[in-house]
Amino acid sequence: MLRIFLILVSISFLNACKQDNHPDVSGIHADVLIHRTEKEISKIRNINDVDKIVKRHPAFYNLYFKEILKFPDSTNRDSLYKSLQLFSTDSISNDLFEKVEKKYSDLSAIKAQTDQMYRFLFYYFPDRSSVPNLYTFISEFGYQIFIFEDDDGKDGIGIGLDMFLYPDINYKMIDPDNNSFSDYITRTWNQDHIVKKVADLYVADIVGEAPGHRLIDQMIQNGKMLYITDLLLPSVHDSIIVEYTGKQLNWCQENELQMWSFFFDQKLFYESNPAKISKYINPSPKSPDMPDEAPGRTANYIGWQIVRAYMERYPSTTLKHLIDMKDSQMIMEKSKYKPKQK
């Protein structure tokens, strides 16, 4: 099954400094291999070339041709070759190949950051010790990221680089009626967010589903995910972790007390109606009934601060214990979280 995640983060602060209090993971081995399938496909000149690339990475290419590009008969080599010829000579594909090559000719920085993310993953979750192969590809805006079973039985991760070309591409114009291509989402589809997206795959799997449907359950669960993502990417600015622009993050930091009071006053913590709470926890241009400057998913931000406060108050709490705690009310109460007036 393909697991697809759209990542909503700020571009501006990837290299901003954070407190350097994270553990030393330099002794942990992690060496990601990145296979540039879009480069391999662009070099295909005959049917034998197709056979060669499929033989090298059968798990990825069988999935890619059948499920992502949706070739009509990907198991027949003649049909596959014809489909690939049409795909690689299509004007849209050609433009994407050129744009991806220009922006992503060198992925060494992304590899270095990915390797470091895995070191922290293995440090905090030693039961996870397998480094997947990464496969970059082009899908004509069909998929951004997915995880699959690779040839050796380990996880493999596919990354659609044509979905990380902002601002070179105005994604909204591709499909104006598709909410997933809205400007407040696609402004984050760029190089700075690729590794955070890979981390999200693991964090979502580790933390799992919220224990209930109330806002408090959702916000604390999302707060746990943000807290763990921050541990895996300690050098990445909070604006990327929480998926805000720098301006949006600053607004939340300056208005924590007002947001906290709003959720109390509106009796939203125990609300379970999706229509009333969705934009406070899911991607949205703003949070309803808050000032226009308030971004969407403000409940996630508050949930993150609650989890931070809890872990600071109880530093002996292991991540496993934090994840296993299902009583959202208890976490909020014991955290003693109360933002100060600024």
Q: What is the CA radius of gyration of the chain?
A: 21
What digits encode the pLDDT tens for the residues 228-239?
A: 999 999 999 999
* Beta-bridge partner residues of 147: 157
Closest CA to 199 of 160, 157, 165, 238: 157
Query: What is the reported pLDDT for 188?
Result: 83
Biggest alpha carbon–alpha carbon distance for the chain = 68
Pairing assessment for the beta strands 34-36 and 133-137 based on DSSP bridges: parallel
Residue 195 scores a pLDDT above 70? yes
Please state the φ and ψ torsions of residue 124, each to the nearest 5 degrees.
-80, -25
Query: What is the reported pLDDT for 18?
Result: 58
Helical H segments across 57-148, by residue range: 58-63, 77-89, 91-103, 108-124
Contacts of 142 (CB under 8 A, 6+ apart): 68, 69, 160
Residue 8 scores a pLDDT above 70? no
Closest CA to 337 of 227, 202, 229: 227
User: Residue 37 in contact with residue 135, Cβ under 8 Å?
Assistant: yes
What digits encode the pLDDT tens for the residues 45-74?
A: 999 999 999 999 999 999 999 999 999 988
How far apart CA 169 and CA 189 sit, in angstroms, is 10
pTM confidence score: 0.91
Query: What is the reported pLDDT for 20?
Result: 63
User: Residue 250 in contact with residue 33, Cβ under 8 Å?
Assistant: no
In which residue are the tokens 């109390």 written? 264
What digits encode the pLDDT tens for the residues 237-260?
A: 999 999 899 999 999 999 999 999
| Mean pLDDT of the 42-47 span | 94
How far apart CA 119 and CA 73 sit, in angstroms, is 41
